[in-house]
């Protein structure tokens, strides 16, 4: 091991030990096939709330062992190609944030398109030659316009839900189009205070669906409270309004009965 490599390892070891002690939540995320620019993007967006460390697995394992922090529930997930995130955000907030913050990436053969991939009409900047056949190979209408190739019409080269073909991936790369959204995938998060490990399956909550469930639950609870005449801060106004309506209805019946009685002829009485 060279001096620089040894120094780098020691610095990483000290950093991981320090962060493991300071931060309440420690997450492990997969790095496989994740571009470096995505990690850089997340580091900037999480600045002040979390720190992402990429280090050799053995360094992380040793740092955890020497930190004095109980990471036994997290240790089995510290394997090849992982990043460690030390966070102030709770596990659910962190998972949601990382999931939403994705970056653009080139399409690869076999990738599944999450939306239509369209190549728009215009100058490609590519010189005439082999590129003409390549572009035509995915159904693009092209022509030579001066020193470069121009696309005449917009074209959907991959439909939503379809796999990206090798030809389409090649063309998209040549045109510098990055249609794929890619992000870091958190494997799980350790909450030090509770000594609990939350896996991705637990953390991956559909926020909109969860919010709708809360709304429905609130409406049902309020409806039950009003019908049961149970007074709470939320139900009291509705109960007063309900009482007012019922009082008005009773008053109307009484007034109507009085009016009818007054209008009845004396002989009938």
DSSP the chain: --HHHHHHHHHHHHHHHHHHHH-SEEEEEE-TT--HHHHHHHHHHTTTTEEEEE--HHHHHHHHHHH----TTTGGG--SSEEEEEESS-HHHHHHHHHH--EEE---TTPBPSS-EEEPSEE--PPSSHHHHHHHTTT--EEEETTEEEE-S-EEEE-TTPBPPHHHHHHHHHTT---EEE--EEEEEEETTTTEEEEHHHH---HHHHHHHHHHHHHHHHHHHHHTT---TTTHHHHHHHHHHHHHHHHHHHHHHHHHHHHS-TTT-
Asked whether the predicted pLDDT for residue 149 surpasses 60, the reply is yes
The reported pTM is 0.67
Cα separation, 109 vs 175, whole angstroms: 16
Q: What is the pLDDT of residues 89-104, one digit of tens each?
A: 999 999 999 998 888 8
Q: What is the mean pLDDT of residues 186-202?
A: 94
CATH class of 117-180: alpha beta
- Split at pLDDT 50, 70, 90, the class of 266 is low
The predicted structure's pLDDT at residue 269: 46
Q: What is the mean pLDDT of residues 186-213?
A: 87
Q: What is the pLDDT of residues 109-148, one digit of tens each?
A: 999 998 999 999 999 999 988 899 999 999 999 999 889 9
Q: What is the pLDDT of residues 62-117, one digit of tens each?
A: 999 999 999 999 999 998 888 999 999 999 999 999 998 888 889 999 999 989 99
Map out the domains of the chain as residue ranges.
Answer: 3-102+183-205, 117-180, 211-258
User: Please, which residues have CB within 8 angstroms of residue 79's CB and are 6 or more apart in sequence?
Assistant: 57
Of residues 92, 87, 71, the one with CA closest to residue 25: 87
Q: Which two tokens stand for residue 75?
A: 């240790």
**Neighbouring-strand partners of residue 117:** 158
CB distance 160 to 115 below 8 Å? yes
The predicted structure's pLDDT at residue 262: 64
CB distance 32 to 72 below 8 Å? no
Q: What is the mean pLDDT of residues 173-196?
A: 93
The predicted structure's pLDDT at residue 162: 94
The CATH fold of domain 3-102+183-205: Alpha-Beta Plaits (3.30.70)
The predicted structure's pLDDT at residue 72: 94
Residue 68 Cα distances to 19, 52, 63, angstroms: 12, 20, 9
Asked whether the predicted pLDDT for residue 252 surpasses 70, the reply is yes
The predicted structure's pLDDT at residue 215: 84
Cα separation, 50 vs 43, whole angstroms: 8
What is the torsional sign of CA 246, 247, 251, 257? positive
Q: What is the mean pLDDT of the chain?
A: 88
The predicted structure's pLDDT at residue 105: 87
Q: What is the mean pLDDT of residues 1-28?
A: 87
């Amino acid at each position: 091991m060279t001096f620089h490599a040894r120094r780098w390892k020691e610095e990483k070891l000290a950093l991981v030990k320090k962060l493991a002690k300071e931060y309440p939540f420690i997450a492990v995320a997969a790095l496989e096939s994740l571009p470096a620019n995505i990690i850089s993007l997340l580091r900037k967006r999480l600045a002040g709330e979390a720190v992402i460390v990429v280090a050799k697995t053995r360094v992380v394992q040793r740092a955890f062992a020497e930190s004095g922090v109980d990471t036994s529930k997290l240790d089995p997930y510290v394997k090849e190609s992982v990043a460690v995130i030390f966070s102030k955000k709770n596990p659910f907030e962190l998972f949601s944030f990382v999931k939403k913050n994705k970056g653009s990436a080139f399409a690869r053969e076999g990738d599944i398109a999450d939306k239509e991939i369209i190549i728009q009409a215009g100058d490609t900047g590519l010189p005439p030659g082999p590129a003409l056949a390549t572009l035509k190979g995915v159904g693009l209408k092209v022509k030579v316009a001066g020193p470069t190739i121009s696309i005449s019409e917009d074209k959907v080269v991959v439909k939503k839900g379809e796999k990206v073909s090798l030809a389409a991936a090649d063309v998209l790369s040549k045109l510098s189009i990055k249609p794929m959204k890619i992000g870091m995938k958190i494997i799980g998060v350790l909450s030090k205070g509770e000594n609990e490990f939350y896996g991705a399956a637990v953390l991956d909550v559909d926020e909109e669906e969860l919010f709708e469930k809360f709304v429905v639950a609130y409406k049902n609870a309020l409806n039950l409270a009003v019908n049961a005449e149970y007074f709470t801060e939320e139900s009291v106004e509705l109960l007063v309004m309900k009482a007012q309506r019922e009082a008005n209805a009773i008053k109307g019946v009484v007034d109507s009965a009085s009016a009818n009685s007054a209008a009845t002829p004396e002989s009938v009485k």
